[in-house]
Chain A
Amino acid sequence: MSRDARAISDLVVPRSGQSVWLVTLSAAAMAFLAVFALALAVSAAQLARGWSAQLAQTATVRISAPPDEMERQTALVLEVLRTTPGIAEARVMDSAEQAALLEAWLGPDLPLDALPIPRLIELLETDAGPDRQGLRLRLSAEAPGAVYDDHTRWRRPLVQAAARLQALAIVALGLIGVVMTVIITLAASASLASNGQVIAVLRLLGARDRFIARAFVRRISRRALLGSALGTLVAGALLWVLPDLGSTVQPLAGFGLQGPSWALLLVIPPLTMALAWTASLATAFHVLRGVT
């Protein structure tokens, strides 16, 4: 379409009309929601990846033994671990670290010396990891009070929960797209219906359906772009000033949009415009078929 044709196309549809504002407002609202759904989807994916990576290569050996046996069994376990392929590093956690782990449940003034607390050995595994079944058998033979825990028990549900959260966020994004399409279709129908006289005159003057449809589609798409940009901007700003959950709840570190993932927000306005273009074009041609 030439510049002159675009200029005329922009002129023939009256600028006023509630239906056109309805598109702007609904696009803004939907973009606002889409930003949070997108942030949730990205965060859930980041959390699932982070938790999976952090926990996949760590394990713990817990030693429960009488106080006079503890040092001997610890030494035996460390020797077993040192000679086990797949273990990169084994480190006995000191009392302060164990107290820090228990602080959340038992408070800060924990008399560790007075309690029969098991000793914990933190393992860092290689990429290939150890033969877990073999390691368990060797530990039970050398140090009966030692239990190897590769975190599978609670790692799997955590990763599954994050993956489900991500799936829900993606479904929410899809629903937002569907609702936006429905609203824009209704707004386009209302706009075309309220401009029946304009359409009839243009048809009688020899204007083709393509010209008439594009006149409405351009107006509706621009409004959708404007509304979507505003909604994205406001939601992005709110997301930016949200407190960093990771600084207070360590496992949630990385929740929210981080670094390059902010660029994903730039996709929302053009995507909304493309959606508006497609929905309003289809509606316009459908309505025009009823006009001679």
Chain B
Amino acid sequence: MIVFEDVSHDYGGGPLFRDVSITLGAGSFHFLTGPSGAGKSTLLKLCYGELIPSAGRVSVMGQDRRQMTRDEMAATRQRIGIVHQDCRFLDHLSVAQNVGLPLTATGRPLPQGDLTDLLGWVGLGDRADALPPTLSGGERQRAALARAVIGAPTLLLADEPTGNLDWDMSQRLLLLMMELNRMGTAVLIATHDMNLIRFAKSHVQARVLRISGRKLTAAGAEL
């Protein structure tokens, strides 16, 4: 799915992280933790190609990010579900239209039944016609997750997907992600929530990556 080879990234004020090499295989489940500003969101952006690494090589779905054409990048992103920390909705469209956008904006059919079921599952059945600015923080995160999974992605990237949710709803959404993982979707979740990680590890084979001090480590060992 995703392969990092000696990847470094630098926004201009020195490297955020250096020489990161990881492989996120098909059907894998990973958590990414670390202090604020360590580079979790940057690493996710490198995964879905919003950023190109300052050094090293990132392969997304078997293709070198640097060599990908714009259409290839678009086609690859159609196979990736992304939950952004700030959710990023089109504020003039309803919740249902935003959730269906990954399919409708890419020419894929949108089964209305699936959309209704998904909105109901994330607890937004009665908010389908609401506009994003009227949603609470928790509702926005649930809508963002629904949008990320509607296209049955092969890779799900989530940046703090449960930051504004209560524990019950956090578990509910995590169960949804675990269900997708059981169906073959690779999942990478950036989070501070250790309870969430513990809950996931009790249900699935999840690995925890920690980014800190410009390095990425797993289970205490440097990668």
Interface of A toward B, CB cutoff 8 Å: 2, 4-5, 8, 11-12, 14-15, 197-198, 200-209, 211, 288-289, 292
Contact = CB atoms under 8 A, between A and B. Distances in A.
Given A206-B105, A206-B106, A15 B88 contact: no
Given A11-B97, A12-B90, A205 B105 contact: yes
Contacts of A8: 104-105
Contact of A203 (B74, B84, B97): B74
Contacts of B48: 204
A289 B97 CA distance: 26
A239 B75 CA distance: 54
Given A11-B97, A292-B49, A292-B50, A205 B89 contact: no
B14 interface: no
A291 to B, nearest CB: 9
Given A5-B107, A11-B97, A211-B105, A206 B78 contact: yes
Contacts of A2: 107
Contacts, number: 73
A200 B75 CA distance: 15
5 contacts: A2-B107, A201-B90, A204-B88, A208-B71, A211-B105
Interface residue SS majority, chain A:
helix
A207 B49 CA distance: 14
A107 B48 CA distance: 90
Nearest to A2: B107
Contact of B89 (A14, A201, A208): A201
B93 A11 contact: yes
A2 B97 CA distance: 18
A202 B93 CA distance: 13
A206 B51 contact: no
Interface residues of B, number: 31
A18 to B, nearest CB: 16
Interface string B58-85: 0000000000001101111111101010
A8 B106 CA distance: 10
B77 A4 contact: no
B101 interface: yes
Given A11-B97, A292-B51, A206 B74 contact: yes
B78 A4 contact: no
Interface of B: 48-52, 70-71, 73-80, 82, 84, 88-90, 92-93, 97, 101-102, 104-107, 147, 151
B159 to A, nearest CB: 12
| Majority secondary structure, B binding face | loop
Nearest to A14: B92
Contacts of A204: 48, 50, 77, 82, 84, 88
A209 B70 CA distance: 8
Contacts of A288: 70
Given A12-B93, A207-B74, A292-B49, 16 more contacts: A4-B104, A8-B105, A12-B90, A14-B92, A197-B90, A200-B88, A205-B147, A206-B75, A206-B106, A207-B106, A208-B106, A209-B74, A211-B105, A211-B106, A289-B70, A292-B51
A197 B76 CA distance: 20
B164 to A, nearest CB: 19
Contacts of A4: 104
A198 B101 CA distance: 12
A292 B75 CA distance: 13
A5 B77 CA distance: 19
B27 to A, nearest CB: 21
B122 to A, nearest CB: 18
Nearest to B104: A8
Which 7 pairs of residues, A with B, have the shortest CB-CB distance?
Answer: A206-B78, A206-B77, A207-B105, A8-B104, A14-B92, A208-B74, A205-B102
B82 to A, nearest CB: 6
A205 B106 contact: yes
A81 to B, nearest CB: 81
Given A201-B88, A201-B89, A201-B90, A206 B104 contact: no
Most buried by A among B50, B97, B106: B106
A205 B73 CA distance: 10
B114 to A, nearest CB: 16
A14 B91 CA distance: 9
A288 B48 CA distance: 18
Contacts of B79: 206
A205 B89 CA distance: 11
Contacts of B75: 206, 208
Given A11-B97, A292-B51, A209 B71 contact: yes
A110 to B, nearest CB: 78
A15 B92 contact: yes
Contacts of A200: 88
